[in-house]
Amino acid sequence: MDESRQPPTGAGVVLRKLMPPPALCGFLLLLALVFAASYAVGSAAGPVAPGMHGTSGNNTGGTGGSGDMDTHGGGH
């Protein structure tokens, strides 16, 4: 009877110790699904403001504006 009370040994115990708890795996899976769904909804909704475009790398101005400061109305 003493043999049945000994803790199990072998590869199964080592694998169980290395694996994270099932609740953590479920939480991470749920978190990934929420981020994927929010990204899909954001992509389907489009830009949040008129004239807003993605970054294409050809922006020459440092402020992201039109670059022509004289068109903003001045007393020149």
User: What residue segments make up the domains of the chain, in order of their start?
Assistant: 20-45
Q: pTM for this structure? A: 0.46
What spatial distance separates the first Cα and last Cα of the chain, rounded to whole Å? 100
Phi, psi of 17 (to 5 degrees): -75, -30
Q: How far is 27 from 25, CA to CA, in rounded Å?
A: 5
Closest CA to 52 of 40, 64, 37: 64
pLDDT in tens, 10-64: 777 777 788 889 999 999 999 999 999 999 999 998 888 877 776 766 655 555 5
Q: With 90 as the cut, is the pLDDT of residue 67 above it? A: no
C-alpha dihedral sign at 34, 36, 40, 43: positive
